[in-house]
């Protein structure tokens, strides 16, 4: 029997799709709870505190983006994989700006969903032995998954945290968008690498004047090596 990997909340209003997702996730050792509308999914997330949420955007009652927005406003940073029947860049970027951690467009294989959820949870756990890192006004603790700016806590999504942690592990280096997607997500199959620009923009907004992230035109992103 596979090990218990935690509870995944599926918010999906198409029963056959929800059942397929449930069966494949269950085979991999996940507990699964399914809701078919947004309001019920929000209530379930608050009540059950799942390890991850697979969130369809086009839910009846309350759409998936609103569910995610409300959770983030409440300080709930449970990893979220958005699912939608449309693969439009605007939908993808809006979902990520609201605090989503990954994105799948229908149709997709259930095996891919399982792989994405596993990858997301590995990233959320992070490298437990990674030391506390300080850069400028930032103090990042990978083990506790905390970030301080001038000794004050700043809340980040799983993907925002992992992106910043990766850059801070490599001060002075510059990475292309494709390299960052591969390192932070574990794969680089996005057809539009602008999702990386969204996360960098989100991080800069949260860090304000303390942000060490720099853009190297025509190349990508890095952080200045201010610790030397």
Q: Where are the domains of the chain?
A: 6-125, 133-223
Give the pair of three-digit tokens for residue 195. 């999702």
The per-residue pLDDT for 89 is 61
Which of 77, 56, 60 is CA-nearest to residue 11? 56
| Model confidence pTM above 0.75 | no
Chain segment 59-109, per-residue pLDDT in tens: 998 999 999 999 998 988 899 999 887 666 666 677 777 788 888 888 889
Chain segment 13-41, per-residue pLDDT in tens: 999 999 999 999 999 999 999 999 999 99
The per-residue pLDDT for 32 is 94
DSSP code of 202?
Answer: H
Which CATH code for domain 133-223?
Answer: 1.10.10.10
Other CB atoms within a 10 A radius of the CB of residue 101 amount to: 28
The per-residue pLDDT for 228 is 41
Asked if the domains 6-125 and 133-223 are classified in one and the same CATH topology, the answer is no
Other CB atoms within a 10 A radius of the CB of residue 208 amount to: 11
The per-residue pLDDT for 2 is 47
Contacts of 164 (CB under 8 A, 6+ apart): 138, 140, 147, 156, 203, 213
Average pLDDT, integer, range 124-146: 82
Which CATH code for domain 6-125?
Answer: 3.40.50.2300
Average pLDDT, integer, range 104-116: 89
Residue 122 has pLDDT above 90, yes or no: no
Q: How far is the C-alpha of 17 from the C-alpha of 14, rounded, in Å?
A: 6
The per-residue pLDDT for 4 is 59
The per-residue pLDDT for 70 is 94
């Amino acid at each position: 029997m596979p090990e218990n990997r935690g509870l995944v909340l599926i918010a999906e209003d198409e029963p056959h799709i929800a059942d397929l997702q449930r069966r494949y996730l269950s085979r991999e050792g996940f507990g699964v709870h399914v809701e078919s509308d947004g309001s019920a999914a929000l209530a379930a997330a608050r009540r059950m505190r799942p390890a991850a949420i697979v969130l369809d955007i086009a839910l009846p009652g309350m759409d998936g983006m609103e569910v995610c927005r409300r959770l983030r406003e409440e300080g709930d940073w449970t990893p979220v994989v958005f699912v939608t029947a449309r693969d439009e860049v605007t939908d993808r970027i809006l979902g990520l700006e609201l605090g989503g951690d990954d994105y799948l467009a229908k149709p997709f294989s259930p095996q891919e969903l399982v792989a994405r959820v596993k990858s997301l949870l590995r990233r959320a756990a992070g490298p437990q032995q990674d030391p506390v890192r300080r850069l400028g006004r930032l103090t990042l603790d990978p083990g506790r998954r905390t970030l301080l700016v001038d000794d004050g806590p700043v809340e980040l999504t799983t993907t925002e945290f992992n992106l910043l942690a990766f850059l801070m592990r490599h001060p002075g280096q510059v990475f292309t968008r494709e390299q960052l997607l591969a390192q932070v997500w574990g794969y680089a199959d996005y057809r539009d690498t602008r999702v990386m620009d969204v996360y960098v923009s989100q991080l800069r907004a949260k860090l304000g004047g303390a942000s060490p992230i720099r853009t190297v035109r025509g190349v990508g992103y890095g952080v200045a090596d201010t610790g030397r």
